[in-house]
Amino acid sequence: MIHHAGLIAAFIDGGWRGALVLGASGSGKSDLAVRCLDIGFALVADDRVELWTSAGRLYGRAPETLSGRIEVRGLDVLAESALTWCRVNLCVRAGIPDRIPEPAFIDDFGLRLPLITLALLESSAPAKLSRALRHLGRGQ
């Protein structure tokens, strides 16, 4: 199944942890990905993500036609080194987060995954995402 989303990953504790970024067109998904790439994240997929489940876990990759490409608004669609696939440990929804939110989950894809809401265009969004993957993505 292909979803309108982005997928980026951070190398944490010896493995890649993926964050599936969900939001409307223009909400800042690719902008967040570009900023995360600058702090050590890896691109998996931009704009469209092919998702599948295996052994009770969710995985994602870019459709072949978009693999290794990212849209940088105001510039162009650019080539970018990318992971072939990764496990999705966390879902990120574009929006205005509560100051101290209750734990949230998304029950899509036949699985229950941690969900956070981030203002994707905030300058602190990459740092918040990194911390969320370190804390919420454990054991998922």
β-pair type (48-54, 57-61): antiparallel
**CATH code given to domain 2-135:** 3.40.50.300
- Report the distance separating Cα 19 and Cα 27, nearest Å: 16
Query: Contact at 8 Å (CB) between 102 and 61?
Result: no
- The predicted model scores a pTM of 0.92
The average pLDDT across 40-62 equals: 96
Query: What was the pLDDT predicted at 71?
Result: 85
Instruction: Identify the H or E element spanning 135.
Output: helix 125-135
Tens digit of pLDDT for each residue in 78-97? 889 999 999 999 999 999 99
Question: How many alpha carbons lie under 13 Å from residue 123 in its C-beta half-sphere?
Answer: 0
Query: What was the pLDDT predicted at 138?
Result: 52
Indicate if the pLDDT at residue 31 is higher than 70.
yes
- Report the distance separating Cα 69 and Cα 119, nearest Å: 23
Between 124 and 74, the more confident residue is 124
Least confident range of 52-56, 83-87, 136-140: 136-140
